[in-house]
């Protein structure tokens, strides 16, 4: 299933596999707590992006209702890393934080 709002959200079985079709050199993954890691989704996402030939950086630990500090720290990392893709996983907080980091 795919939703467009104005950015793309992929959801459901096989959604992560879309990551291996992306074109670019660098991707950053923004995640919240440890559930994405514990359940293996983070590793799968990282593996798919590497399969696409990308260098991957992780921004972990985005808290519920992300703080300005979290957003500004993430924005600094993004400015230094210069990703072609920003992947947010795990729910509304990582998605909102990733969007705010991108804007900054």
Q: Does residue 12 belong to any structural domain of this protein? A: no
| Domains in the chain, number | 1
Q: What is the pLDDT of residue 37?
A: 87
pLDDT tens for each residue of 37-48:
888 899 999 999
- How far is residue 104's CA from residue 67's CA, in Å, rounded to a whole number? 14
Q: Does residue 49 belong to any structural domain of this protein? A: yes
- How far is residue 54's CA from residue 68's CA, in Å, rounded to a whole number? 29
Q: Does residue 42 belong to any structural domain of this protein? A: yes
Please give the residue range of the domain that contains residue 57: 31-90
**Residue 62: DSSP 8-state:** P
Full-model pTM: 0.87
Residue with tokens 């808290």: 63
């Amino acid at each position: 299933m795919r939703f467009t709002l104005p950015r793309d959200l992929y959801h459901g079985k096989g959604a992560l596999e879309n990551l291996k079709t992306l074109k670019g050199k660098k991707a950053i993954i923004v995640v919240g707590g440890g559930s994405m890691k514990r359940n293996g989704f983070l590793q799968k996402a990282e593996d798919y992006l590497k399969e696409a030939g990308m260098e991957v950086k992780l921004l972990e630990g985005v808290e519920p209702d992300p703080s300005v500090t979290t957003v500004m720290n993430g924005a600094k990392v993004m400015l230094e890393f210069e990703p072609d893709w920003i992947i947010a996983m795990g729910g509304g907080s990582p998605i909102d934080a990733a969007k705010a980091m991108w804007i900054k």
